[in-house]
Copies of this chain bind each other. A is one copy, B any other.
Amino acid sequence: MNAEIITIGDEILLGQIVDSNSAWIGQQFNLLNIPVTQITSISDKPENILEALKQASSRADIIIVTGGLGPTKDDVTKQTISTYFLKPLVRDVMVLEHVQTLFSRVAPGKMMPDINQAQADVLEDCTVLFNDVGTAPGMLVEKEGKIFVFLPGVPFEMKYLITNRLLPLLKNLVAQQPIQHRHIITIGLGESFLAEKIADIENSLPANIKLAYLPKLGLVRLRLTQIGESAESIDDFHTRFIQRLGHHVVATKDITLEEAIVETFSSENLKLATAESCTGGSLASGITAISGASAMFDCGVVSYHNNIKQELLGVKADTLEKFGSVSEQTVIEMAEGVKKLAKADYAIATSGIAGPRGGTAEKPVGTVWIAVSGKNETQTRLFQFRNDRAVNIERTVANAFAMLWNMYIKDKSN
């Protein structure tokens, strides 16, 4: 049993939005042991929708369609699926009442435009996936043994409908071979070296256990996938890889480095503080995005201007004048300053030229200093990134957290 996702809407094809819905749906279906085998993004032209539905249903058992259920003229999905299934659209009384209620809440006393009434139209005989958190209802249709699901493209409405409406229904409709995944998050070894280090274990994997390497920004994520049953279990191999990789292992489950930091610091009662110039709040928001961060993070300062570096963090005017704000001396004083200010155990500081402007011959765009201050020392590194602003910031953040993790491991082994 497998699923495919079809996303409808020009905005993905034009690159105006990134399709994060499909990733989330992929995760959910994987947990249900129903792999997503294809994702197709098409424009909202009826002929494209019809063709994509036909093709997807020739390959997959479940077809999830998102997008195109809004009230305005550019949304043609409902008319088109009416054609595809040879069924008329009918106005659902419960949905209409709900749309009317939501409308009155947002615009009390105003008449609901006709255009909104049509949001209550659903395919005749479909299972309506009632949308408590928005106006567009989802629909589930079964045809020739295939399950078609139509959902709004607004991420939180789509998520609500899958979690609360679709998954409970699906559990009754499907049954299949178990798929299991195990993960190892590693740091400090490139993909090739990692592969060589574990080659013998990888070569001894049975045919139904597969290993994938997912390198990203200094970390390599290893994913073991077992389909069906196996004499030697996926857990045995998971353990063997973990033992072989030793201190390169950051986590033995599928979490980010930020999650590993929040989890480890919280359980060991350690506090982190951040002082950011070029990353501009991304270190702090990366940590505070993780639930539970308040146990290990009290304070972050975004000191974009030199005055703030001096007044809040205690960077010396002399240091700024002599070495400049993008310098080893400045990031050291920023890190140690914020550590003291926040009474933290660890601190990270960044200062650099994210670009695209502000570079000089001596300090070109992409010049970044990072300092990490730990229990016994403050370490620094100079980076020369050669990318655009967003990537320079992203790589600074990734390297800063990697430096923090390495400092933590070093302190721990001392």
- A27 an interface residue at 8 Å Cβ cutoff? yes
A15/B19 in contact, CB under 8 A? no
A204 → chain B, closest Cβ, in Å? 13
Query: How many angstroms from the CA of A43 to the CA of B223 in the assembled complex?
Result: 15
A292 → chain B, closest Cβ, in Å? 7
A113/B196 in contact, CB under 8 A? yes
- A12 an interface residue at 8 Å Cβ cutoff? yes
Residues 24-54 of A at the B interface (beta carbon under 8 Å) = 24-28, 30, 35-43, 48
A357/B304 in contact, CB under 8 A? no
Interface stretch (choices A314-322, A389-397, A399-407): A389-397
- A300 an interface residue at 8 Å Cβ cutoff? yes
Q: Which residues of B contact A55 (CB under 8 A)?
A: 55
A289/B393 in contact, CB under 8 A? yes
Q: Which of B41, B155, B193, B285 contacts A113 (CB 8 A)?
A: B193
- A23 an interface residue at 8 Å Cβ cutoff? yes
- A280 an interface residue at 8 Å Cβ cutoff? yes
The oligomer's copy count stands at 2
Query: How many angstroms from the CA of A153 to the CA of B318 in the assembled complex?
Result: 45
Given contacts A14-B30, A36-B13, contact A304 B308 (CB under 8 A): no
A280 → chain B, closest Cβ, in Å? 3
- A170 an interface residue at 8 Å Cβ cutoff? no
A16/B214 in contact, CB under 8 A? yes
Given contacts A39-B40, A74-B211, contact A18 B16 (CB under 8 A): no
- A293 an interface residue at 8 Å Cβ cutoff? yes
Q: Which residues of B contact A384 (CB under 8 A)?
A: none
Given contacts A16-B221, A223-B16, A299-B308, contact A37 B26 (CB under 8 A): no
A15/B25 in contact, CB under 8 A? yes
Interface stretch (choices A65-73, A89-97, A373-381): A65-73
With A72-B213, A156-B391, A281-B283 given, name 19 new contacts (CB 8 A).
Answer: A10-B212, A12-B39, A15-B27, A15-B30, A17-B23, A17-B216, A18-B19, A18-B20, A19-B19, A40-B41, A70-B191, A71-B192, A74-B210, A133-B386, A276-B284, A280-B293, A282-B285, A289-B393, A299-B305
Instruction: Report, nearest first, the 5 A-B pairs whose CB atoms are least far apart.
Output: A280-B288, A281-B284, A15-B26, A300-B302, A298-B305
Q: Please, could you name 20 A-B residue pairs with CB atoms under 8 Å apart, sorted by A?
A: A13-B36, A13-B38, A22-B41, A37-B42, A71-B191, A74-B210, A113-B192, A274-B281, A279-B285, A280-B285, A280-B287, A280-B300, A281-B302, A282-B288, A284-B302, A285-B285, A288-B302, A292-B357, A297-B304, A300-B304
A residues touching B (Cβ–Cβ < 8 Å)? Answer: 10-20, 22-28, 30, 35-43, 48, 55, 70-74, 106-107, 113, 115-116, 133, 155-156, 159, 181, 190-193, 195-196, 202, 210-216, 221, 223, 254, 274, 276, 279-289, 291-294, 297-305, 307-308, 311-312, 341-342, 354-358, 386-391, 393
